[in-house]
Structure 1
Amino acid sequence: MNTNTIWRVRSGVRDSAEAIYRIAQAVPKRYPWLKTVYAIWCWASLLLFVVGLFLYRDSRTMLVQYLWSFYVMLQFWLLCRSKTFTWKQTAMFMLLGIALVIPITAWTLMAAHGLFGGRTSDTWSNAVVTPIAEEVWKLLPLGLFLFFSRRASSMSLGDYTLAGAASGVGFQLMEELSRRWLNSGIIGRTYGYSTTMLGGETIHWDFWTLFPGRFEESIFPTLMTVSHPVHTAMIALGIGMAVRYRKRLTKAFYALPALLLAWAILDHAAYNGQNTLPDWFMKIHDWTGSGYQTKDAFLLLLVLGLVLDYVALNRIRNRLPRMKGEAYIDPLTELRHMAAAFIGRRESFAGVMAWTRERREMGFSMLYGNAEAISVQENLRARMQLHYRIAAGLTVLLIGAGLLAGIAAYWQAHVQPDVPACFACMFDSLQNWWDRLSFSEKGAIILGAFALALLFVSFWPALGFALTVASIPGSGHEIAQDIRDPKRLLTPENAASALIALALSRVPFGRLAKKGGGRFMDWLEKLLKRRTKPDLPHKPDVPRKPDVPHKPDADEPPKKQGADEGEQAKPQDADDYVHWSKAKYRGVELHDSKGGAIGEFDGIDVENGIFYEAKSAEGLNKIHPKTGKPQQTPQQFTDKQLYQKTRTRINNLMEKAVGTRTTPDGTSDIPTLDEIKGIRNFQFQLDGDSPELRAAAENSLNKLRQEFPDYTFSIRFGVK
C-alpha cells in the first residue's frame, strides 16, 4: 500500500467521521425538544444512581472503583504539565480504553483459544498471549489519534504520556471492577476483594501512593507489576520521543518504545506466570528490577520529556504571548499564575488554565506542526483571545452586580422604608448558616454541586461552578456590608479594602485568611488616606501667543497634550515619549531567503518592546493640477501609510523574513530577527496634525487592532 492510498483512506475515513459529527451537531438545533429530553434523562439517571447506592452493593462497588480510577487519572493530569489535551479529549482516550481496547483484547484471546484450544488458565494463555495482547492493544487509541487527527504532529510529549495513561486507566477500571464484582466470597467481603488465602493483599489502593492500584504480594514479596496506566504511559512517551527525534537521531530511535513495550510485557508476564514460567525468564525479570524499578524509570523518563517540551517552547517564547513578569515559560510560573487566579479571581481560574494550555498548543504547532496542524492556528488564536474577553466580561459583570446591589439597597432604604424585608440580612443569614456547617457538610455540598455540573459541562467548569457555589455564602457578610453602605465603594481606599475583603472571603478556608486580613485592610485604608492628595487650587497656565512658538529647554519634559486629545493620545504620555531618531536601533531592514528587502523599521527599542515608525503627511497638502484638490484624502493617506504598510510588515516579519540588516542610514548595531519577533507595540510619529487626520488615523489603527488583537498601536501627531 503506497503513501497516496494511505492518505486517501485516512482522509476518507476522517472526512466521513467529521460529516457524521456535523450532522449530529445539527440535530439538536433542528429539534430543540431533544435538549429537554436529554436533561430529563440526565436527572433521572442521577436519581437512579443515587437510589442504587443505597439499594445495591454492586453500585457502591462500582462507585468506589470509579473514584480510584478517577484519582489515578487526576495524578497523571497534574504531572503532565506540558500537555495540550483538554480534559474532554483525555476522557475520550479513557472511554476508548473501555469500549474499544477491552472488546478487541477479548476477541483476540477468543480467537487464540479457538485456533489452539486450551483454557484461559493455561500458562501460554495467561502468561504469554494475555500480556502481549493487553499491552499492545492498549496503544490502539493513541495509534488511531496519530493516524486520523489533524493536530497529531503538534502533540507534546506530555500529550503522548496522557493519552497512554488514559487508555490504561479505562482498561484497568473495567478489569478491577470485574474482579470486585466476581470476588464476592466471605474472604473478599471480610478482608477486601483482592485478599487471597496464601498471597495476602495482592492489590493495594492507597490514597498517599503515586499511581495507586499497583499489584504486589504481601507475604514474602519478591516481584510486582505496576498498574496498566503506568505501563501504557511509559510506552506512549517512548513513542512520542521517537516520533519527535527520529530525523535527528535516525529511525533507529524507534528501538526505545520497542524496548519499553518489551519491558512492560516482561513485567506483566512474570507476574501472571510467576509460578509456571521457566527460570531463565524469571532471571531476566530479576535483572530488570522484578517490577519494582518500572515506576521509577517511568518517572525519570517523564521528567526528561517535560524538560524537553519546555526547552522547545522557550526557543520560540518571543513569538508566544506571555503574562506580566514571565521571562521564561516554565511549569512553576504557570502553576503560580493559576494558583493566584484560583485564590484571588476564582471566576477567571478556568480561563487562565485554558490560556496556558492553549499557549503550549500554539507553541508546539509552530515547532512541529505540519500543514494540517498549522491550519488550525487561527482558531487557536481566536480561542486564546476569547479567554481574555471572558475574563474582562466576568469583571464587568461583577462590578455591575455590585452596583445593582447598591441601587437596590438605596431604593429599599429611601423609597420604601416601611418594607420589613431585609435584603442585606439575607446574605448575613446565609453566611451564618454556612459557618455553622461542619467541614464534612460543606464538602458534601461542594461535591454535590460538582457532580450536578459535571452532567452538563466538562471537569474544570464544573469545578469552578462548585467553588462559586461555596463562595457566595462564604462572602455573605462582605456582600451585606456593601448593600447596607454602597458609599463605601465610592472612595479609592474603601473600594480597595472592600475588594480585598471580598477576595479573602473567597479563599478556601477563608476564615483563617480573614483573621489576618482585617488588620491588613485597616492598614491599607490608613495608607491610602494619607496618600490621597488634597484638591488644592493651582495657578492656571498662561496661554502663549500664537505667533511665538515655545521652545522647551533641554531639561524640560515634553508638555502633555490637552483634554481634546485624551483618548487618542493616552498610550503616548509624555513620560513614555521617545523621538524615533533617539531609538537605540535605527534603520533595521528585513530580508527574505533570496536577500530581497521586505520591510524596514525606522526605530526599535528592544528593551521596552517598541517599534517606532515616522510618517510624513506633507503629501496631503499637494494640489492635483487637474482637479484643484489634494492628491489624496486623509483617510486614503492613513490607510496606505498606517494600515496597509504595517499589516504587510507584520506578516512579513512573522512569515517571510529570515534575518535583519542595517540600511545605509541605520545604526551599525542592529537586533536579530528572533529579538524583534516578540515585540507587540507600534508607535507612529506623524509630522502633520488636523482633526480630519486624527479621525482618519484612528480608523486605520482600529483596523490594525481588529486584525492583530495581540498588538498595541498608538500615534503621536505634530512630531518633526
Structure 2
Amino acid sequence: MIQRHEKQIERIHKWKEDHATLLKRIRKIYIWVIWLMLPVAIFFWLFLPLSRNTVMIWFWSYYALWQVWIISRSKTVMWTHVARFFAAGIWLVGPLCAGLLWSIHYLLADGAASIQEPWSAIILGPIVEEIFKLLPLLLFLFVTGKERQLSLTDYALFGFALGTGFQFMEEVLRSWVSSRESLLGMFISLIYDNTKEWGFAELFPGYFIHGDVIAAGHHVWTGFAALGIGFAVHFRQKLGKWIWLVPLFLLSWAIFDHGAYNSHVNLLTSDIIIEFLHFFTGYGHWYKWLFVLSLFLAVYLDYRTLNQEKKALPLLPHETLLEPVTESIELIKSILQSPKQWAATMLFLRERRAYGFAMALKEREKPRQKIYHHVQLAYHLLGISALLLLSFLAVNSIAVENPYYLAGLFDGLSAWWESLSAFEQISIILTTTLVTALLMLATGGGIISAGFTAIGTGLLAKDTLANSEQIASILRDPKSFFKQLQEDAKEMPPQELMMKLFGLGLDFASRRIPGGKEGIEWLSNLQSKSQQFGKKAKMDGDRGGGGREGNEGTGNIPKKTVTSNKGKTIDVTPTANHSTTTSVPNPAKGTPNSSVDILDKKTGEIKTRRFYGPDGRAVRDVDYTNHGNAKTHPEWPHEHIFKWNSDGTFNR
C-alpha cells in the first residue's frame, strides 16, 4: 500500500515537471483573477452583512485553530496539513453528512417534513456527524501509514481542524438562514437564551452556551476523539488492545454531548434521563476542559517519548533533554536575531521531532496487517456504539430550534436563497469563493501557492530576506520600492505579497528591538531553569545521551539510507550538526563534520544533502532531484563526490 502511494506521488511530480509551462500559465491566471476579485470582495465585505459574516466566521474559526496550534508544542506537521484537513471538514465531511441524512429522510421518512424531527436532530444527526468527521483522519492513517510518525498533538490538531471546518460550514449556513428569520423566530431567540460565544478571551471560541449548559463545539468534540485515537496508536503495545476503548469512549461521549445539547435547547423540557446524565457529565463543560488537560498531557507524553530517542537526535548546545519551554524560548531568541534565523530554527525543531517519533514508534510497531485489523475492529465498535446510543437517546420532544445539526440548516435554505436579490447572491458567491481560494486553500499551500503556510518556513523557502540591505534601500528610495512592489504583484497573489512585506517588516523590527542581546541572555538563563524543571518532571524518559548541535558532540545517530531507481543503496545519515538552507552553500567553507539540506525554494523539499569533512570542505553531495532527463541523469537519487586539488579548487 505504501509503495503504491509513493509511486503515485512520483508520477504526480513527474507530471508536474513535464507540464511546468502549463502550471505556470494557470498560476498566472489565478494571480490575475484574485487581484481582480479582491477589490470587489472588499466592497461586499464592507457593505453587505451576509458577506461580512462569512469572513468573520472564517476568522474566528482560524483563531480557534491557531490556539490549538500554539498549545501543541510537540507537533510535527506543517500548517499546510492542518489547513487541508480544515478544508476537508468543509467540502468533504459537511456535504457527505448532509447528503446522507437527507437521503435517509427521503428513503425512510417523510423527506424535508421530517428533517427537524427529534429522532433526527437528537439521535441520528449527532451519530452521523461525529463519526463522519473522523473518517478523513482514519482514511489518511489507513492509506499512508503515517500513524508511526505522528505525535499525540498531531492527532488532536487533525481532528480539531476537521471539526473546525465542519463547524465553519454549519455557522455560515446558520448565518444565512437566520438572516431571513421570521418575526416569531426572532421573538423566540430573544426569550430563549441560546448564544454563540466568540471573542479573543475565549478558549476555542465558537461554542454555544445556554444557561449553565454549553455545546463544546465540533472542533472540541472531534479533536478529543482524534486525540484518543492517537493515544491508542501510541500505547497499544504497552497497554494492550483494550486501549482502543479510549477513543470509542471519547467518541461516544461526544455523540451524547452533541445529542444532549440539541435535546436541551427545545422549548419544552427534554427527557429527564438525558438531562440527568448531561448534568452528571458536567453539562458539556467537562468534555471541553478534559480536552484541554489532555492536550497538555499529550505534550508531556510526546516529549517523554522523544527523550527516549534523544541519543539519535541532535541537541542544541544548552540542551540536556528535549522539552517544550526550551524550544519555545529558542524560537523567541531566533526572532530577536532575524526572521531567517527564526525560520531555520522552526524547521530544525519540527524535523527533529518528526525524526524522533519515527524512530520511537517504529520500535513499537507491529506488522501493518495487525494495524488494519485494529482499524476494522474500531469500525465494528463504532457500529455497536451507534446502536447503543440509538436505543439510549430515544426521546419525544418538539422540533429543535437552531440545533448543532448541519442537515437541519438546509431546511428552508432554498427558499432563503430565492428571496435574495441577484446582487446579494453574487456577493455571497464571490465572497465565499475568495475566502476559500485566497484565505483558506492558499494557507494550505500546495497546489495554489505557498500563502501564509507556516510563515517562518515560507520566509525560509522564499528567501525574501537574503539581502540585509533591503530595508535601507527602501528608506533611501521608496519610489523604486513601490515600483518593484507593482512588478511583484504581477508575479504573486495578494497573500504571498503580504507575506513578503510581513517578512521585511519583521526584519526591520528585529534589527531595532532595544536590549536584544540582554534579552537573549535572560532567555538563555530561563532555558537553563526550564531544563532543570524538565528533569524534575521526569520528562527525560530514562535514557541519556544525545548528540550536540555544533562541534560539542557527534551523537549516536542510526544509519539512514535511500535506494536509487537503479537499486543502489546510498548512505544519507545526517551528522549531529545538521542544518537546512535554501541557498547553495560554499563547498569550500562549511562547518567541519557537518551536513546540510539544500531545500527547494518553492516546495521546501530537499534537493541536495551535502556533507562536510573535518577541514570544513565538502566531501560529497546526495542529489535527490529527478531531473527528468534519462541521458544526463539516469539515476536518482545519486551521489557527487568532491575531489580537492592542492590549490584549493575542486572537481566533482
- Fold agreement, TM-score > 0.5: yes
- How far apart are residue 390 of structure 1 and its match? 5.9
Q: Which of the residues 242, 247, 250 maps onto 1:257?
A: 247
Instruction: Tell me what 1:285 maps to.
Output: 278
- How far apart are residue 354 of structure 1 and its match? 2.1
Contact 2:313 2:356 in 1 (8 A): yes
Q: Which of the residues 272, 285, 290 maps onto 1:297?
A: 290
- How far apart are residue 110 of structure 1 and its match? 1.6
Distance 1:337 1:391, change over 3 A: farther
Distance across 2 between alignment mates of 1:55 and 1:392: 36
Instruction: Tell me what 1:467 maps to.
Output: 502
Distance across 2 between alignment mates of 1:345 and 1:679: 21
Distance 1:395 1:317, change over 3 A: farther
Distance across 1 between alignment mates of 2:25 and 2:99: 40
- How far apart are residue 301 of structure 1 and its match? 1.2
Q: CA RMSD in A?
A: 4.5
Tell me which structure has the larger Cα radius of gyration.
Answer: 1
- How far apart are residue 324 of structure 1 and its match? 2.8
- How far apart are residue 285 of structure 1 and its match? 1.8
Matches within 5 A, 1:654-669: 654=559
Contact 1:338 1:353 in 2 (8 A): yes
Return the TM-score normalized by structure 2: 0.60
Q: Which of the residues 66, 69, 73 maps onto 1:77?
A: 69
Q: Which of the residues 100, 113, 121 maps onto 2:92?
A: 100
Matches within 5 A, 1:172-187: 172-185=167-180
Q: Does 1:144 align with 2:154?
A: no
Distance 1:701 1:228, change over 3 A: same
Distance across 1 between alignment mates of 2:195 and 2:135: 28
Distance 1:462 1:155, change over 3 A: farther
Instruction: Tell me what 1:349 maps to.
Output: 342
Q: Does 1:238 align with 2:308?
A: no
Instruction: Tell me what 1:335 maps to.
Output: 328
Contact 2:82 2:158 in 1 (8 A): yes
- How far apart are residue 88 of structure 1 and its match? 0.9
- How far apart are residue 282 of structure 1 and its match? 2.3
Instruction: Tell me what 2:48 maps to.
Output: 56
Contact 1:348 1:391 in 2 (8 A): no
Instruction: Tell me what 1:363 maps to.
Output: 356
Distance 1:195 1:233, change over 3 A: farther
Structure 2 gap segments, 5+ residues each: 369-455, 482-487, 519-546, 562-574, 579-590, 594-611, 624-652
Q: Deviations over 1:625-648 (max 9, x none)?
A: xxxxxxxxxxxxxxxxxxxxxxxx
Q: Does 1:210 align with 2:245?
A: no
Moved more, 311-320 or 261-270: 311-320
Contact 2:93 2:133 in 1 (8 A): yes
The alignment partner of 1:215 has SS state of strand
The alignment partner of 1:139 has SS state of helix
Distance across 1 between alignment mates of 2:70 and 2:476: 41
Q: Which of the residues 86, 89, 99 maps onto 2:81?
A: 89
Matched letter for residue 135 of structure 2: L
Q: Which of the residues 230, 237, 241 maps onto 1:247?
A: 237
The alignment partner of 1:293 has SS state of helix
Among all aligned residue pairs of Structure 1 and Structure 2, give the percentage whose two residues are the same amino acid: 29
Q: Deviations over 1:4-56 (max 9, x none)?
A: xxx4xx76577557645653564343564333212212212323322322343
Contact 2:592 2:616 in 1 (8 A): no
Distance across 2 between alignment mates of 1:206 and 1:314: 37
The alignment partner of 1:216 has SS state of strand
Q: Deviations over 1:599-623 (max 9, x none)?
A: xxxxx99998568xxxxxxxxxxxx
Q: Deviations over 1:441-465 (max 9, x none)?
A: xxxxxxxx99x987555xxx965x3
Matched letter for residue 153 of structure 1: R
Distance across 1 between alignment mates of 2:550 and 2:47: 68
Distance across 1 between alignment mates of 2:308 and 2:27: 46
Distance across 2 between alignment mates of 1:517 and 1:343: 6
Structure 1 gap segments, 5+ residues each: 1-6, 374-385, 406-422, 432-448, 476-501, 508-512, 521-603, 612-648, 657-676, 684-696, 709-720
Contact 2:548 2:576 in 1 (8 A): no
Distance 1:195 1:84, change over 3 A: farther
The alignment partner of 1:203 has SS state of strand
Q: How many residues align?
A: 450
Matched letter for residue 42 of structure 1: I
Distance across 2 between alignment mates of 1:90 and 1:194: 40
Distance across 1 between alignment mates of 2:39 and 2:172: 22
Distance 1:699 1:310, change over 3 A: closer
Distance 1:29 1:133, change over 3 A: same
Contact 2:340 2:460 in 1 (8 A): no
Matched letter for residue 94 of structure 2: I
The alignment partner of 1:224 has SS state of strand
Return the TM-score normalized by structure 1: 0.55
Q: Which of the residues 271, 278, 284 maps onto 2:261?
A: 271
The alignment partner of 2:202 has SS state of coil
Distance 1:313 1:194, change over 3 A: farther
The alignment partner of 1:84 has SS state of coil
Contact 2:89 2:133 in 1 (8 A): yes
The alignment partner of 2:88 has SS state of helix
Matches within 5 A, 1:150-169: 150-169=145-164
The alignment partner of 1:273 has SS state of helix
Instruction: Tell me what 1:398 maps to.
Output: 468
Contact 1:351 1:391 in 2 (8 A): no
Distance 1:207 1:390, change over 3 A: closer
Contact 1:194 1:203 in 2 (8 A): no
- How far apart are residue 344 of structure 1 and its match? 2.9
Instruction: Tell me what 1:312 maps to.
Output: 305
The alignment partner of 1:258 has SS state of helix
Distance across 2 between alignment mates of 1:17 and 1:655: 21
Matched letter for residue 279 of structure 1: I
Contact 2:553 2:576 in 1 (8 A): no
Contact 1:194 1:201 in 2 (8 A): no
Contact 1:180 1:193 in 2 (8 A): no
Distance 1:700 1:21, change over 3 A: closer
Q: Which of the residues 190, 209, 229 maps onto 1:197?
A: 190
